[in-house]
Structure 1
């Protein structure tokens, strides 16, 4: 067998698939996670496009690359991938990557029925992770997210719908939240998927043209304005036992997240705390159209950022990710699509 490169990966899902790259790459150089990501983009981006895009991946694929940590006390570094580029932070892929660390034996636990703590370095910052084990398997993963902020609200003009209110927040990525009924969707659980993709794509297109937010990623990027990363259509979650919302997240054309989104939940939790609807220690839930739930709990509130008056919190996010399989991906030198394609 001829192979230009063989990549080792573990595939997980929590409703949405994450492919975790564990081998087949050169060491990623850089003193920070941002530098490591830049090195990967310059020297290994064909691996990202190959594993995220068709024919090996698909438009909703997520991914992560495990690296050496960028801090002296860090346990592991993570770079987050998607078919069109990189995420500075991704809660979904964090859950999957942490599960992979345990399942693959990269990090071992002394007590197979105890709790394991990890320090994870990402481009967006440090994550303190707690893993609950049962029989050596990760059955619950909670991590303290990067500082998350409410960023106010803005009127958004959506083609075909007129003016709507967008709530703005940051939870590792920037979000604009638009109530689904404002754009003609009475129920996220009952809407036709093609209609949801159409409307969500239009809101994303218009939001990126009209809403620019600072990227809160390290001191060298603080204050840089760019189009909002994702938009979230939401509706109230009518449940007696929890506070929360049902959500559908969009970050690329014809792409709707299958999960509630970790970074989106973090940002929305910050918004709820800033509005006085949620207190420290209370649980807030995001539920996807598939009925999947991620949980958040503000563990630190009242954080302020120099140069920005937005209230800040550190939310603890909880979910579980499931192993689907392992693979060795072959990049054949004669394959015309060894770098993948988007169609």
Structure 2
């Protein structure tokens, strides 16, 4: 019989953003924290990310989340996020998908009604509240990272676009926030490619002119993301809705509005004085899916930043449960930075 290297997966999506959850087949990783285990993958075993996001197993628009044992005793499980641009320390949609997969797989037992537990992300502990009705995970609410505005309404000239007004928020990564209507967009599905091209030009221009540093984390890399903002409609005393689109990689507008993009919007609305604690914002994607962000509270940090504490709520759906076979003899598969972390078994 042949020697097989296998991975056990649960494919999910939240708001259209597909997350592939790895629940088995990877050996324990070195590192005293989930953040250190993420850094080990990034530096010594990046083959797992490339394997599952590229042909023949995946596509770059997907995300991958590796389930690992928690290192913090307060957490039920840990997880490491992998995307085409690298290893973000946090993601709302990936957290929603991971929590759902853990419950639906039985790795965390489901309880009817509302149940709370902690997960350990590379960014630290994340509070999860799951709503389970008739045995089905109907919603996940997760804590968004503390978010703040770094730059408000700066202007830059962008080749082939013109003068662009933008703000910069940090919400787990740095985001450029731009008004879609000022750039001629109404945020419809047929604009997706044009939005991606426009965003790429703006991001490149901002990267060439400015760098951004987190008040405690320091340099977290060049600006990666851009969030197109549609008009904000007030639909109740404490509830707002806005069409949105998030650029995450050259050529790619995320299928969801993204949790961190929604957190960035809350930070901007607080900075501009248009929301109060307890208010919620639903961001609506090009595919008519949405996440709901809630502005919980604010505090001063770093001597000058008003940091917004927030939560993100969404629903994830299980798409598939599968086991894939990794064949290192396949010319399409590069195992050089992968085989040493794969658990093996004989078929």
Is this a same-fold pair by TM over 0.5? Answer: yes
| Contact 1:207 1:231 (C-alpha < 8 Å) held by counterparts | no
SS in 2 for 1:227: coil
Superposition pairs of residues 22-171 of structure 1, within 5 angstroms: 22-109=23-110, 111=111, 113-153=112-152, 154-171=154-171
* Residue of structure 1 equivalent to 2:19: 18
SS in 1 for 2:56: coil
Q: After TM superposition, what 4+ stretches of structure 1 lie above 4 angstroms from structure 2?
A: none
**C-alpha deviation, 1:245, in angstroms:** 2.4
Paired with 2:300 and 2:10, the residues of 1 have a C-alpha distance of 38
Aligned mate of 1:304, from 285, 300, 305: 300
Paired with 1:293 and 1:201, the residues of 2 have a C-alpha distance of 23
SS in 1 for 2:264: helix
SS in 1 for 2:75: coil
| Contact 1:212 1:225 (C-alpha < 8 Å) held by counterparts | no
* Residue of structure 1 equivalent to 2:196: 197
**C-alpha deviation, 1:22, in angstroms:** 0.6
Aligned mate of 2:223, from 222, 228, 239: 228
Gaps of 5+ in 1: none
* Residue of structure 1 equivalent to 2:332: 337
Gaps of 5+ in 2: 336-347
Q: Deviations over 1:259-284 (max 9, x none)?
A: 01001111210111122101000111
Aligned mate of 1:259, from 256, 261, 276: 256
| Contact 1:126 1:146 (C-alpha < 8 Å) held by counterparts | no
Structure of higher RCO (CA pairs closer than 8 Å, 6+ residues apart)? 2
Q: Deviations over 1:58-96 (max 9, x none)?
A: 121111111122323122111111123211111111010
SS in 2 for 1:55: coil
Aligned mate of 1:290, from 265, 280, 287: 287
| Contact 1:161 1:184 (C-alpha < 8 Å) held by counterparts | no
**C-alpha deviation, 1:157, in angstroms:** 2.4
Cα RMSD (Å) of the superposition?
Answer: 1.9
Per mean C-alpha deviation after superposition, the further-off stretch among 32-41 and 152-161 is 152-161
Paired with 2:54 and 2:263, the residues of 1 have a C-alpha distance of 27
Paired with 1:3 and 1:321, the residues of 2 have a C-alpha distance of 35
SS in 1 for 2:266: helix
> Structure 2 vs 1, CA of residues 193 and 298 (structure 1 numbering), >3 Å: closer, same or farther?
closer
TM-score by length of 2: 0.89
TM-score by length of 1: 0.90
Q: How many residues align?
A: 331
